[in-house]
């Protein structure tokens, strides 16, 4: 391998500490001006970047559409974060950094956020951005009638006021510490007020660019390419460095690898670790790994006997050798996890060795099963999803592991559509799952683990204590206090085992060595392209 | 001839209608819909409901069918749910890419396959026949994705060349267009050349064993005349049918090749539309495929009559 380095996306320690103090200062109702990280938005600033040029990026998954309000697909978000921006940017280490906001102030009861906007921000249409646009955009997305999958993220907002052209106020029904993160740009793009008044706007959004981001959308040719060009009016001085980014949509890795070899593709995020092995050692091509916020897990639906017995779930957890499954599924290109995704472990996670019911212990697992009345074991059906490469080898490995405690695993493969139907009807049974989060513990846990009706609780866990902790965690603004709450939650999650989080797979970035300064954001979104440049 | 054509057209339209209904029904029976896909593991009942309403998915399926059919009859194929573009032009432009690919492949395969088959047939049992048959077995048994991959890897490895990434229509630049299409055409043609020459060989061999051919040779007609008048004519009839079949097969089966070489054709469009449950696109594309298959069959039947007086109908 040319260079396979554990690439670390780390903002300097000093600026990290500065960030933390801002969170706590804000909680006390003190206005904070400016921001220590501003220079590092979207990635590290290059020392002496070469300007211009067209970068060809390969896309293995084509976005179904480019509308940031109505498309939940990750393939969409990866690209649209370069075109649309929200009030905040989700820094890789899990902090919400002002983006279109300049500073903010939180009332003492934590229910009012007054946000000062950056001045001189222009939309791609040429129009200047004001508080009216911000109010319009967020009112649009949080109104469930407009059909945005992001509506739920903003349900805590009661109303939005325009204070003056550059100040907006968010009034919340209850304190919510992850509001700022939700105002990051997954569903939180700011667009010109009134944009959706026109019925055809929803469809036009796939071809026109009305955001404030560093790149403008020029053309989207389905099944072929997406072309972005530099936003010359971008509000941040000196950025971005490239003139154009051409996303070439090549749906299979074989042609992607050929194109990389022949320098038609400069950069690509590979989906399968086995593809990396084919280009290792090729001159001029560099391979890098970045930590992710993704997780591969086993969900144990409590509606299915005997999974409703905590001892049975613990027994299964103790029989699972995560290292072995990861090795089979994705080789070494990932990190084994406990109760939180790899990218959040440092800031929010309980150390792996402090968590209960972790590690392989077959004897203890057998004893637990016997205690639960299943000394002779039982059989169980594992659901896996078509099209998820890692699941097949993982399923076979899991079958072998569970056989050791007398659990006979039947493997059933279904289409994603069937799986989502099960998810909706909360009849998941015993299934593999593959999902990712935004870098905040509330956004990670609440939706999945809070009891109904507030959370989707598709595992039918229905755990009072856990739900209370999640309520407390989202309303607490102080980082240390929040961390303590979420640590308690994780202990509970590990002990009760409604899910077994196995591993996070790394982002595998392959680039031509002419591509400089590209850093992959842990979400998998291509923020880093705003900081990348070409030197050839 | 006129009334025959008229009847055929009528029958085709009825079949198309039936096909459209089946297509509609089948697509709806696939679990999961576009809203479920858009929502993923997020969701929220109100947002979901409003999207269902926006797409008209909250209405009974037969109403949805008639609304769609009504639009189609007026030339409106609806709007793609995921891309927001009108389906008609989208499907048509994808179809043109596939059609170009199909016709060029067919031409190349015919130009190589038919002579090969004739040579093999004439020299039945000789080494050249054995060699051609060996090639045919190879061509028929190699899966098209493997052939495509091998061609791609070999060409890129040996000549450091790979096709451009952005599709260019022939109207903008023919040379760019062809340089994108050349590898996919070669990959697809290999199989078809083999199928063709095998088929033609069979027909030549059987024609050569016919009594009238033997008679013609026995009475001393020049070989050239025997060949063109008696053999070739009889070989051409099934070959025209075969061409039609091959073209339909190419048009229906290019999805792997289109994905491999990143061509924005109909197969790939259909595949991605099915994956995202973009019903209007799936319906529009499948309807087009059905119609095209019918038109090809019709052309084949007409060509048939032109070549062979025996099948002429009044």
A161 and A190 together in one domain: yes
ipTM score assigned to the predicted complex: 0.77
A114 and A137 together in one domain: yes
Give the long-range contacts of residues A230-235, CB within 8 A, separation 24 or more. Answer: A231/A124, A233/A122, A233/A126, A235/A118, A235/A120, A235/A121, A235/A122
A446 and A316 together in one domain: yes
Domain containing residue A401 = 294-505
Interchain proximity A258–B94, CB inside 8 Å: no
A331 and A428 together in one domain: yes
A323 and A458 together in one domain: yes
CATH number, position A134: 3.90.76.10
A94 and A192 together in one domain: yes
Give how far B2 is from chain A: nearest CA, Å: 42
Q: What is the DSSP string of B250-265?
A: HHHHTHHHHHHTT---
Instruction: State if pTM tops 0.90.
Output: no
Interchain proximity A149–B54, CB inside 8 Å: no
d(CA A293, CA A437): 6
Neighbours of A197 (CB within 10 A): 8
Asked whether residue A219 is domain-assigned, the answer is: yes
Asked whether residue A407 is domain-assigned, the answer is: yes
Asked whether residue A96 is domain-assigned, the answer is: yes
- Pick from A197, A229, A256: which residue ends a domain? A197
Residues of chain A in contact with residue B152, where contact means CB-CB under 8 angstroms, are 254-255, 258
A343 and A407 together in one domain: yes
A356 and A439 together in one domain: yes
Interchain proximity A147–B47, CB inside 8 Å: yes
Q: Sorting pLDDT into bands at 50, 70 and 90, what band is B41?
A: low
Query: In chain B, whose CA is at the least distance from the CA of A69?
Result: B38
Strand partners, A380: A409
Q: What is the DSSP string of A32-101?
A: --S-TTGGGTTSPPPSSPPP--EEEEEESS--S---TTT---HHHHHHHTTT---SEEE-TTS-EEESSE
Give how far B35 is from chain A: nearest CA, Å: 9
Asked whether residue A9 is domain-assigned, the answer is: yes
Q: Is A180 exposed, middle or buried (0-12, 13-18, 19+ CB in 10 A)?
A: buried
d(CA A61, CA A256): 12
Residues of chain B in contact with residue A65, where contact means CB-CB under 8 angstroms, are 82-84
Checking if the pLDDT of A530 tops 70, the result is: yes
Give the single-character DSSP code of A350: P
A499 and A516 together in one domain: no
A36 and A121 together in one domain: no
d(CA A256, CA A62): 14
**What percentage of chain B exceeds 70 in pLDDT?**
95
d(CA A472, CA B225): 95
Give how far B279 is from chain A: nearest CA, Å: 13
CATH number, position A252: 3.40.190.10
Query: In chain B, whose CA is at the least distance from the CA of A417?
Result: B32
**What percentage of chain B exceeds 90 in pLDDT?**
19
Asked whether residue A279 is domain-assigned, the answer is: yes
The arithmetic mean of pLDDT across residues A181-204, rounded, is 89
- Greatest extent of chain B over all pairs of C-alpha atoms, in Å: 87
φ/ψ (deg, to 5) at A60:
-85, -30
Nearest CA to A243 among A510, A56, A520?
A: A56
Q: Evaluate whether A302 touches A19 at the Cβ level (below 8 Å).
A: no
Asked whether residue A203 is domain-assigned, the answer is: no
What Rg, from alpha-carbon coordinates, does chain B have? 24
d(CA A498, CA A358): 13
Looking at per-residue pLDDT, the higher value among B254 and A313 belongs to A313
Q: Evaluate whether A340 touches A470 at the Cβ level (below 8 Å).
A: no
Give how far B282 is from chain A: nearest CA, Å: 14
Q: Evaluate whether B79 touches B87 at the Cβ level (below 8 Å).
A: yes
The encoded tokens of residue A5 equal 């380095």
A194-208, B99-113, B116-130: least confident range: A194-208
Q: Sorting pLDDT into bands at 50, 70 and 90, what band is A419?
A: confident
Q: Dihedral sign for Cα A63, A68, A74, A79, please.
A: positive
Interchain proximity B152–A417, CB inside 8 Å: no
Asked whether residue A207 is domain-assigned, the answer is: no
CATH number, position A328: 3.10.105.10
A69 and A133 together in one domain: no
- Pick from A147, A163, A197: which residue ends a domain? A197
d(CA A292, CA A271): 13
A365-387: pLDDT as tens digits:
999 999 999 999 999 999 999 88
Residues of chain A in contact with residue B49, where contact means CB-CB under 8 angstroms, are 144
A127-136, A150-159, A414-423: least confident range: A414-423
- Pick from A136, A167, A197: which residue ends a domain? A197
Asked whether residue A69 is domain-assigned, the answer is: yes
Checking if the pLDDT of B309 tops 80, the result is: no
A350 and A462 together in one domain: yes
What SS3 state is found at A457?
A: coil
Pairing of strands A54-59, A88-90: unpaired
What is the number of structural domains in chain A?
3
Question: b/e for B39-56, b at 16 or more Cβ within 10 A?
Answer: bbbbbbeebbbbbbebbe
């Amino acid at each position: 391998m040319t260079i396979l380095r554990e690439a670390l996306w780390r903002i300097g320690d000093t600026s990290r500490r500065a960030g933390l103090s801002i969170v706590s200062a804000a909680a006390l109702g003190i206005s904070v001006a400016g921001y220590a990280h501003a220079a590092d938005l979207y990635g590290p600033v290059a020392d002496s970047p070469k300007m211009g040029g067209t970068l060809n990026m390969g896309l293995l998954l084509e976005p179904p559409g480019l509308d940031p309000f109505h498309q939940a697909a990750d393939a969409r978000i990866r690209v649209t974060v370069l075109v649309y921006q929200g009030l905040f940017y989700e820094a890789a280490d899990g902090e919400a950094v002002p983006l279109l906001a300049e500073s903010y102030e939180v009332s003492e009861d934590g229910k009012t956020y007054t946000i000062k906007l950056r001045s001189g921000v222009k939309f791609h249409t040429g129009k200047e951005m004001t508080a009216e646009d911000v109010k319009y955009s967020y009112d649009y997305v949080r109104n469930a009638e407009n059909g945005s999958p992001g509506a739920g993220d903003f349900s805590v907002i009661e109303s939005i006021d325009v204070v003056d052209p550059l100040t907006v106020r968010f009034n919340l029904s209850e304190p919510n510490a992850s509001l700022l993160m939700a105002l990051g740009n997954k569903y939180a793009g700011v667009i010109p007020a009134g944009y959706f008044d026109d019925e055809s706007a929803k469809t036009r959004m796939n071809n026109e660019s009305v955001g404030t981001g560093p790149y403008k959308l020029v053309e989207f040719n389905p099944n072929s390419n997406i072309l972005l060009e530099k936003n010359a009016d971008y509000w941040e001085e000196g950025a971005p460095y490239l003139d154009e980014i051409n996303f070439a949509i090549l749906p299979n890795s074989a042609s992607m690898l050929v194109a990389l070899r022949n320098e038609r593709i400069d950069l690509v995020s590979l989906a399968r670790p086995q593809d990396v092995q084919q280009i290792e050692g090729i001159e001029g091509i560099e391979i890098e790994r970045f930590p992710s916020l993704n997780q591969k897990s086993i969900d144990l639906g409590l509606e299915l006997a005997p999974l409703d017995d905590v001892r049975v779930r613990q027994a299964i957890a103790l029989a699972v050798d995560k290292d072995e499954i990861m090795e089979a599924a994705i080789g070494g290109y990932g990190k084994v996890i406990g109760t939180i995704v790899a990218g959040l472990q440092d800031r929010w996670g309980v150390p792996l060795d402090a968590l209960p019911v972790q590690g392989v212990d077959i004897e203890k697992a057998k004893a637990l099963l016997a205690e639960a009345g299943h000394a002779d074991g039982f059989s169980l059906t594992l659901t896996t999803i078509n099209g998820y490469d890692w699941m097949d080898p993982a399923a076979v490995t899991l079958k072998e592991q569970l056989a050791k405690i007398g659990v006979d695993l039947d493997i059933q493969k279904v289409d994603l559509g069937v799986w989502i139907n099960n998810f909706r009807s909360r009849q998941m049974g015993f299934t593999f799952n593959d999902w990712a989060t935004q870098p905040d513990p509330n956004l990670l846990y609440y939706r999945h683990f809070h009891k109904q009706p507030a959370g989707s609780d598709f595992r039918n866990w229905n755990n009072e204590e856990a739900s209370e902790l999640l309520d407390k965690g989202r309303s607490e603004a102080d980082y240390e206090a929040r961390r303590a709450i979420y640590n308690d939650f994780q202990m509970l999650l590990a002990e009760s085992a409604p899910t077994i989080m196995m591993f996070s797979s790394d982002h595998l970035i392959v680039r031509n060595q002419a591509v400089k300064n590209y850093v992959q954001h842990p979400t998998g979104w291509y923020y880093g392209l705003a900081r990348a440049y070409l030197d050839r | 001839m006129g009334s025959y054509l008229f009847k055929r057209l009528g029958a085709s339209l009825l079949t198309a209608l039936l096909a459209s209904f089946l297509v509609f029904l089948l697509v709806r029976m696939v679990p999961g819909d576009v809203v479920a896909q858009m929502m993923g593991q997020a969701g929220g009942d109100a947002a979901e409901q409003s999207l269902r309403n926006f797409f008209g998915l909250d209405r009974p399926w037969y109403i949805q069918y008639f609304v769609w059919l009504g639009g189609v009859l007026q030339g409106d194929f609806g709007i793609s749910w995921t891309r927001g573009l009108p389906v008609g032009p989208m499907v048509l432009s994808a179809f043109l890419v596939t059609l170009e690919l199909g016709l060029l492949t067919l031409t190349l395969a015919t130009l190589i396959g038919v002579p090969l088959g004739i040579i093999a047939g004439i020299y039945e049992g000789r080494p050249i026949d054995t060699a051609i048959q060996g090639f045919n077995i190879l061509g028929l048994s190699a899966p098209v994705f493997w052939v495509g991959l091998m061609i791609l890897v070999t060409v890129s490895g040996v000549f450091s060349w790979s096709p451009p990434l952005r599709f260019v229509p022939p109207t903008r630049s023919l040379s760019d267009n062809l340089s994108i299409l050349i590898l996919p055409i070669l990959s697809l043609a290999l199989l078809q050349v083999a199928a063709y020459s095998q088929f033609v060989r069979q027909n030549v061999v059987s024609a050569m064993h016919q009594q009238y051919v033997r008679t013609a040779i026995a009475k001393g007609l020049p070989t050239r005349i025997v060949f063109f008048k008696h053999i070739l004519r009889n070989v051409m009839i099934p070959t025209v049918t075969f061409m039609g079949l091959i073209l339909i097969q190419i048009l229906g089966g290019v999805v792997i090749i289109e994905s491999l070489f990143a061509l924005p054709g109909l197969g790939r469009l259909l595949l991605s539309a099915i994956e995202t449950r973009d019903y209007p696109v799936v319906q529009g594309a499948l309807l087009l495929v059905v119609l095209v298959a019918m038109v090809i069959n019709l052309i084949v039947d007409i060509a048939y009559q032109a070549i062979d007086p025996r099948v002429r109908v009044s």
